[in-house]
Structure 1
Amino acid sequence: MLLHNISLHDFGAYRGKQSLDLSVKPGRPIVLIGGLNGCGKTTLLDAIQLVLYGHRARCSGRGNRSYDSYLRESINRKANAAEGAEIALEFSVVVDDQERHYRVVRSWHISGKQLKEFLNVIVDGQFDRILSEGWADHVEDILPLEVASLFFFDGEKIESLADPERAASVIESAVHSLLGVSTVEQLRTDLVALVRRQRLSSEDQAVLDQIRAQEAEHEAARQEIADRTQTLGSVRARCDRLQVQLDKVEKAFERAGGKLFERQKELESNQKAIAERLAAQRASLRSLAAGPLPLLMLPQQLARLREQAGREKEADDATRVVGVLEDRDAWLLDHLPASVTAAARTALKKKLATDREKRESAAELKQSLDLPSDALEQLSALDEALTRDASRARELLKESAETTDRLDDADRLLAGVPDKKLIKDLVEERNEAIDALAVAKDEFRRGEEQLEELKSRRTRIGADLERAQQKRVKTLIEIEELERIVTFAGKARDTLEKFGEALLQRHISRLEVAVLQSFKALMRKSGLIHDLRIDTVKSNLTLADAEGEPIDPGRLSAGERQLLAISLLWGLAKVAGNKLPSVIDTPLGRLDSRHRQHLVDRYFPNAGRQVLLLSTDEEIDENLLSRLKPSLAHTYTLVHDDTSFTTTVEAGYWWTAGAPHVA
């Protein structure tokens, strides 16, 4: 099957008629469609499924809505609902070595309050009414819906397949539907139905008597199960009553302080720890009080001491300067130029003398404490120490207050612990209630086990009844033709069973090799997975390392699990012969750059004869686009107008010549 063209008219975000040429050629199997999030990439994937499968399509945007509501809401908001929307898909299929061209057009519009839907199928240019009316059955012959879900997938579906349980169901579904195993199973089922129809063609009295006896036994077993179920209900009710009684005793026990009584040792230990912590905090406060901290009570005296130290330092500095100034002034007068007049010389000498006298008066102190020269530095260090100790003292005072409150709470809890003699009766009553409930629950458990045994017995009787009915078929066949049908149907079923097992084993073996090869081709850590097995019964995957030790899928990173899911789909496509197109939406979400390159280089060009790749600009960036270019048949960009909320399709991709500009 090859897709040739898809046209969307007022579908979803696509305004007007938007068409994409999907045709490919050998060596260039990829159609790259770019679009930012919300531009309509997933809508395009939904459109392909919707035009093919109608109400059975597994569209991502449908959710729990009815098919009618989904179609109504799929009409573009800017379009006329009376004109509606339309999707047209053109593809070709080879039937009996002849290529047939299909054009499937699904349209719908709203007429009044009703929604009307139309489907037209054109084959080789001619409208086919029979195919149009029976398209739901015909499309299953071309591309079954279960098979399509393995080739039309998005990033979220790939991520869900990374779950081992989900992968098992996919493998089972794929092997049975895609590789023909389900056809064998359907043939065996049809033969069983044929045998049953023959079994009902005649009767034999002796066999009927046996069947009736077994039916009576089966009914007796059913009645015994009903009685046992009723008894079990009574035991359950008694358990509920005992539980209520225990809850009542528990409440009385709690009101009497029973919970505190049970926690007495814990409370005592907690009270002791709090008391020790309070003692340590108070010891720290006493240690601070033994230092310079009490000087904080003398702020005025400390201020005056700092002032006195400043004055004494200034006086000392002035005394040192006066002697030096006398020599300097004499030197200055001696070096005055001869041009200076006597009057000017006398005025300068007077000013210098006045300055010295002023400095000499500053050096005179009314009172001196003979403080050391670094008294100011010592007082600054004292201020820093007092600030630090004061901050620590405030913290300790706050902590000790909080600890005191906790100690009071602990004392109150200990005071609330009841005396052992006062609570003794409640303890005994509580223990008795617990024991009684345990006995009732044990009785209920045994009753459940007996009920399960009865159900198993009823199942065995039912199986015997079924065998008796099968015996009736062989016994009561009145004509040779019916006996021949039953005999050969049984042989055919046995042959089909063996053939189905062999076919399943053959496909599973091929699938194991294909998936493992695909996974190794995509993995960055080439030596991580050495072997891969698929259980033919449970269809679950088992991974092993080079030593044959099993590897828990949980050890794989999110990106590696995604690659495993892609490898599973790729392996299925290889085993099926790559005859169907693959539509891949947002495939690179959780992958690092190396894994993305592996997918671009190794997977996308080889995923099938035709690959529709829906990507954002961050997934297939400029570097990956250059790697993908040799395999590209067409490139498109979905351009979304944020003002009208509509999308148009334009040729080209980001970073390519002629590509549309996307803001």
Structure 2
Amino acid sequence: MIFETIHVKNLFSYRKAKFDLTGFSPERNIALISGRNGYGKTSLINCVKLLFVGANEDMLAGVLSGRKLNRKQYILGAKSDEWLGIMNRRARQAGEKDCEIRIMWRDSNDSLIEARRAWRIDITDFKETLEVLGAGSKVLHDDDAREYLEGLLPQDYLPFFFFDGEQIQRLAESNRKRLLEQIERLLNISPIDTLCNYLDRCVREWRKDAMVEEEKSRLVELEGERNALSARFEALEEKQLYILSEIEKLEHRIQEEEHQLDRHRAANQEYDKKALTKEWERLTAELERAQSRVAEDLPATVPLLANPILVKKAIAELRKLVENDTSQQAGALKEILGDLSTDLFDKPPYSTPKLMDSQVRFYKHRLEKLLGAHIPPSEDLGGGLLRMELPQARTLLSVLDHFAQADRERKYQAQTLRGISGWRRDIEEIEIKLDDVSNLSEEEQEDFRQRKATNEERKKQVGANEKEIEHIDEKRAEIKRQLQEKEKEIGKQEKRVTIGARTRDKVERAEQMRHFFHAYKDQLKQHKRGAIETAINAHFEALITGHGLIRHIRVAEDFGIHFEDSEGQPVAMASLSAGMKQLMATALLWALKEVSGKEVPLVIDTPLARIDRAHQENLLRRYYPKVGQQVIVLPTDSELDAEKYALIAPHVYREYRLDNPRGDDTQVLEENHVPDK
């Protein structure tokens, strides 16, 4: 699929707009559509989503903080002024009633296809129509058109092809059920589950029909308990999805506010912002590397390194114990007692006749009492503070001797920690300089401070929401365990019934088929998993520069993502920076697109987001020119300066700039930077 034209009429920030996307080539595959925040980039990507899937669950949940709209509210607008609907505000004021999105593309057979979704909107209701022209030389309407588009681009595919670069780091850190299910659908694995579930239902119905009433009643009771657990599980899942949408909205608002703060900062010309930003990025990278080293290297015995005086006092007490004659005598007697009992009764040659087990136990106990009477009690083993067995004292003494002499290791760890403190101070100083707005008016300074404080509160709320998600994950894991137990009970109950020969034959055949398809699914997943793991590691290596924390990315059987260091040890997700997570998610999307074989245009909003400059250059050189046949990139004006534009320019075949100073009439201006072919 290659987009040729996109027409928008009266949707979101657009009154009337056309994007001509013809003219791509393997060497020039990027269409660049840039603009400031609020100028129409997100509106465009939402228009594309609306064409293919209409107002789906993600769009309904992504508008207002704290609640999800229904489809009618999304189209027409909420009662309050928080959301005015999809109709362009200026068109609504002019009394217009029609809006639409229309896209024309070439399919895999080079046939021209045009899809159009339109709305006629009144004050209290709307009518939506969908049609596809050119699909099999006929026009498809509404349900037929929806079925065609769903087969071409199912809504579960959308997060992998149309996405915001600022939000994709969630893919790397989620490993959530919904995402993993979407990956299975993208890889054409989930239809096997549908088939297996159908066979399961058939088997259960056949068994239930053959049951006696008492057994059937118990089965219904168990199924009711399972359904109650499932309802709790789904409620937690819904809550988690809601919190995740809140996090995404907060992070989007944080980013928007940061742009506003940047405009305040830009007004201060007393420092070189570019140089300070580069230095901040360098120090932050150094700090991350140092913190990773400390997390990996700092031993669990750090209290022993940090308290040399206490260690020396403990050594002195241990020496009193070890060098005490009485304690040495007690230790020797205990060793003799242990060895003598074993050598005398448990090793050949044995007595004739051989002692019975009860006799052996009797004589061992007698021997221990006789020799034990000569072992001094612990209170007679010296006047020190410590009371322990001599072998334990000797072992502990050798360990503490090492730490008493570990000055070199102590100095190294102290130096590393001082370095971390120094980098933090330097970063704080740079942040203070970057936030210096002293040359602005008092009113503007106050606005800056309030915005910054509000944004910090949003960041804290994101952290609190992430903790809540962890708590929900724990609850879901427990309910999942209970569900598995309940399923086992149901299975046992189903098998208690004696079924007739005809029913038994159907059940056995269905179970054989189910086992076959499960085995086939496992083999298919293993093959896809290996291909994704190979691809994601290759792509991550191409995108990452100067960072050795992650040496391998492992893809689990369920397609969950796990990180490993050079020694094969797991790397915690929390130790990765936001930029690192975004690069990880980018590599994952690249690998999934490659392995799935789906050729759909990529539409990417805010493509460089929070990534540092060196890795931005990697994306511009190695990712966007190679990730697909057609890539539509929607950067902000601040993301793509002259240097970065020069990196991507050789691969750009169309370029547009969005202008929308009033906020409700995006103008599409074609740029002339792209040379004629």
Q: Common fold, TM-score beyond 0.5?
A: yes
Cα gap change, 1:210 to 1:7, in 2 (>3 Å): closer
Q: TM-score, normalised by structure 2?
A: 0.55
The answer (yes or no) to whether the contact 2:166–2:582 under 8 Å persists in 1 is no
2:617 aligned residue (590, 597, 600): 597
- CA–CA distance in structure 2, aligned partners of residues 219 and 632 of structure 1: 59
2:596 aligned residue (576, 583, 595): 576
**Cα distance, 1:121 vs structure 2:** 1.8
**Cα distance, 1:532 vs structure 2:** 1.3
The answer (yes or no) to whether the contact 1:218–1:458 under 8 Å persists in 2 is no
1:535 aligned residue (531, 556, 571): 556
State the number of aligned residues: 409
- CA–CA distance in structure 2, aligned partners of residues 457 and 9 of structure 1: 52
1:647 aligned residue (647, 659, 666): 666
- CA–CA distance in structure 1, aligned partners of residues 200 and 219 of structure 2: 23
Q: 2:28 maps to what in 1?
A: 28
Q: 1:503 maps to what in 2?
A: 524
Q: 1:560 maps to what in 2?
A: 580
Q: 2:159 maps to what in 1?
A: 149
Cα gap change, 1:523 to 1:457, in 2 (>3 Å): closer
Query: 5 Å matches for 1:163-178?
Result: 164=173, 166-169=174-177, 172-178=180-186
Confirm or deny that 1:187 pairs with 2:208.
no
The answer (yes or no) to whether the contact 1:520–1:529 under 8 Å persists in 2 is no
1:49-89 deviations in Å (ceiling 9; x for gaps): 00111122643863433322332322122214443211101
The answer (yes or no) to whether the contact 1:199–1:477 under 8 Å persists in 2 is no
Query: 5 Å matches for 1:228-627?
Result: 463-464=488-489, 466-472=491-497, 475-477=498-500, 479=502, 482-525=503-546, 527-537=548-558, 539-577=559-597, 579-627=599-647
- CA–CA distance in structure 2, aligned partners of residues 501 and 40 of structure 1: 44
**Cα distance, 1:196 vs structure 2:** 2.8
Secondary structure of the corresponding residue to residue 641 of structure 1? coil
CA RMSD of aligned residues (A): 3.3
The answer (yes or no) to whether the contact 1:5–1:23 under 8 Å persists in 2 is no
Cα gap change, 1:512 to 1:217, in 2 (>3 Å): closer
Q: 1:637 maps to what in 2?
A: 657
- CA–CA distance in structure 2, aligned partners of residues 216 and 170 of structure 1: 29
Cα gap change, 1:168 to 1:22, in 2 (>3 Å): farther
Secondary structure of the corresponding residue to residue 15 of structure 1? strand
**Percent of paired sites with the same residue:** 28
Cα gap change, 1:182 to 1:10, in 2 (>3 Å): same
Q: 1:408 maps to what in 2?
A: none
- CA–CA distance in structure 2, aligned partners of residues 548 and 458 of structure 1: 34
Q: 1:66 maps to what in 2?
A: 70
- CA–CA distance in structure 2, aligned partners of residues 458 and 104 of structure 1: 44
Cα gap change, 1:535 to 1:171, in 2 (>3 Å): farther
Cα gap change, 1:143 to 1:517, in 2 (>3 Å): same
- CA–CA distance in structure 2, aligned partners of residues 42 and 498 of structure 1: 43
The answer (yes or no) to whether the contact 1:49–1:57 under 8 Å persists in 2 is no
**Cα distance, 1:200 vs structure 2:** 4.5
Confirm or deny that 1:121 pairs with 2:132.
yes
The answer (yes or no) to whether the contact 2:30–2:653 under 8 Å persists in 1 is yes
Show structure 2 runs of 5+ residues with no match: 77-84, 226-477
**Cα distance, 1:632 vs structure 2:** 1.5
Residue identity in the other structure for 2:9? H
**Cα distance, 1:102 vs structure 2:** 2.4
1:605-642 deviations in Å (ceiling 9; x for gaps): 11111111101122122222222122222111111133
- CA–CA distance in structure 2, aligned partners of residues 532 and 459 of structure 1: 30
- CA–CA distance in structure 2, aligned partners of residues 217 and 107 of structure 1: 48
**Cα distance, 1:599 vs structure 2:** 0.2
- CA–CA distance in structure 2, aligned partners of residues 179 and 216 of structure 1: 38
Q: 1:136 maps to what in 2?
A: 146
- CA–CA distance in structure 2, aligned partners of residues 587 and 458 of structure 1: 41
**Cα distance, 1:526 vs structure 2:** 5.2
**Cα distance, 1:44 vs structure 2:** 0.4
**Cα distance, 1:141 vs structure 2:** 1.2
- CA–CA distance in structure 1, aligned partners of residues 482 and 57 of structure 2: 44
Confirm or deny that 1:101 pairs with 2:112.
yes
1:91 aligned residue (105, 127, 151): 105
Residue identity in the other structure for 1:467? K
Cα gap change, 1:219 to 1:546, in 2 (>3 Å): closer
Q: 2:383 maps to what in 1?
A: none
Q: 2:87 maps to what in 1?
A: 75
- CA–CA distance in structure 2, aligned partners of residues 34 and 496 of structure 1: 48
Cα gap change, 1:23 to 1:117, in 2 (>3 Å): farther
- CA–CA distance in structure 2, aligned partners of residues 217 and 9 of structure 1: 55
- CA–CA distance in structure 2, aligned partners of residues 554 and 573 of structure 1: 26
Residue identity in the other structure for 2:617? Q
Residue identity in the other structure for 2:628? G
**Cα distance, 1:45 vs structure 2:** 0.3
- CA–CA distance in structure 2, aligned partners of residues 520 and 636 of structure 1: 32
Cα gap change, 1:212 to 1:197, in 2 (>3 Å): closer
Q: 2:170 maps to what in 1?
A: 160
**Cα distance, 1:485 vs structure 2:** 3.0
Residue identity in the other structure for 1:639? D
1:235-288 deviations in Å (ceiling 9; x for gaps): xxxxxxxxxxxxxxxxxxxxxxxxxxxxxxxxxxxxxxxxxxxxxxxxxxxxxx
- CA–CA distance in structure 1, aligned partners of residues 7 and 495 of structure 2: 57
Cα gap change, 1:212 to 1:121, in 2 (>3 Å): closer
Confirm or deny that 1:14 pairs with 2:22.
no
Q: 2:318 maps to what in 1?
A: none
**Cα distance, 1:563 vs structure 2:** 0.8
**Cα distance, 1:126 vs structure 2:** 5.3
Q: 2:415 maps to what in 1?
A: none
1:478-535 deviations in Å (ceiling 9; x for gaps): 53xx544322211111111111112112211211111111111111125442211122
Cα gap change, 1:217 to 1:615, in 2 (>3 Å): closer
**Cα distance, 1:168 vs structure 2:** 4.7
Greater C-alpha Rg:
1
**Cα distance, 1:574 vs structure 2:** 1.6
Give runs of ≥4 in structure 1 deviating > 6 Å. 213-220, 456-462, 655-658
Residue identity in the other structure for 2:153? L
- CA–CA distance in structure 2, aligned partners of residues 461 and 657 of structure 1: 66
Q: 1:270 maps to what in 2?
A: none
Residue identity in the other structure for 2:12? G
Secondary structure of the corresponding residue to residue 488 of structure 1? helix
Q: 1:430 maps to what in 2?
A: none
Higher mean C-alpha displacement, 607-616 vs 523-532:
523-532
- CA–CA distance in structure 2, aligned partners of residues 630 and 471 of structure 1: 71
Q: 1:231 maps to what in 2?
A: none
Residue identity in the other structure for 2:90? K
Q: 2:398 maps to what in 1?
A: none
The answer (yes or no) to whether the contact 2:222–2:489 under 8 Å persists in 1 is no
Secondary structure of the corresponding residue to residue 568 of structure 2? coil
- CA–CA distance in structure 1, aligned partners of residues 150 and 508 of structure 2: 33
Secondary structure of the corresponding residue to residue 646 of structure 1? coil
**Cα distance, 1:189 vs structure 2:** 0.7
